[in-house]
Amino acid sequence: MKDKKQIYNIPNILTFSRILIIPIIFGLLFFKEEIYGIYAAFFFFFAVLTDFIDGYIARKKKLVTNLGIFLDPIADKLLVITILIMLIPLKRIPAWVVAIIIFREIFIMGLRAIASEKGIVIPAGREGKWKTAFQMFGILCLLIYYKHFYLNFGIIGLVLIFISIIFSLISSYKYLKSVSGVLLG
């Protein structure tokens, strides 16, 4: 019974909900009308909010589980990568930008896996957290996309994504530098 309580805690349920939101956003992006982008942005915002809340609750209430440690980053990457790929045919983001983002995520996952085998844990650095913040706000704006309140959300979203790529490259360099001894050894 104890194992089920560890699996079915609030942080893990929030992580599962984030994964379940992905097909909803995916489906909404098939519709061309502007309102569906706003609906998709609402669901995306909710998903991002669950990411913040599940981590906070897990740490605060000491509900960190192996399942949560495993699923949380996967849910984040599935959410971001799926939406970015869906934005390519809508011409809201260039494919090469999405390719850079996906490459970086796979590269960092690989570095973390190698480090983990050697018993080294690489926590997210400040640059990685800034990358995530700019990326999430950028995606939110790209989902809204159209002009509202005299703001062009499409342009704002692309600018935020480009800023996130700069932080992404800086954090990638720092990750690589932190595990270079392991890679060369």
Check whether residue 102 and residue 183 sit in a common domain: yes
pTM score, whole prediction: 0.86
Distance between CA atoms of 139 and 171, rounded to whole angstroms? 19
Total number of domains in the chain: 2
Tokens of 94: 């260039």
> Is 178 found in the same domain as 97?
yes
Q: Which of 23, 54, 79 is the last residue of a domain?
A: 79
Number of residues in the chain: 185
- Same structural domain, 139 and 180: yes
Both 94 and 176 in one domain: the answer is yes
Q: Are residues 45 and 136 in the same domain?
A: no
Render each residue's pLDDT in the chain as its tens digit; 185 residues: 455 556 778 888 898 999 999 999 999 998 888 899 999 999 999 999 998 888 888 888 887 777 777 788 889 999 999 999 999 999 999 999 999 999 998 988 888 887 777 777 777 778 888 999 999 999 999 999 888 889 899 999 999 999 999 999 998 888 888 777 666 66
State which of 51, 79, 107 marks the end of a domain.
Answer: 79
Which domain range does residue 136 map to?
88-185
pLDDT of residue 108: 86
pLDDT tens sequence across 54-99: 888 888 888 777 777 778 888 999 999 999 999 999 999 999 999 9
Are residues 11 and 57 in contact, defined by beta-carbon separation less than 8 angstroms? yes
Final residue in a domain of this structure, among 16, 49, 79: 79
Say how far residue 24 (Cα) sits from the centre of its chain.
Answer: 16
Indicate if 151 and 175 belong to the same structural domain.
yes
pLDDT for res 184: 65
Same domain, 136 and 177: yes
Residue pair 167/127 in contact (Cβ under 8 Å)? The answer is: yes
pLDDT at 119: 74
Same domain, 4 and 60: yes
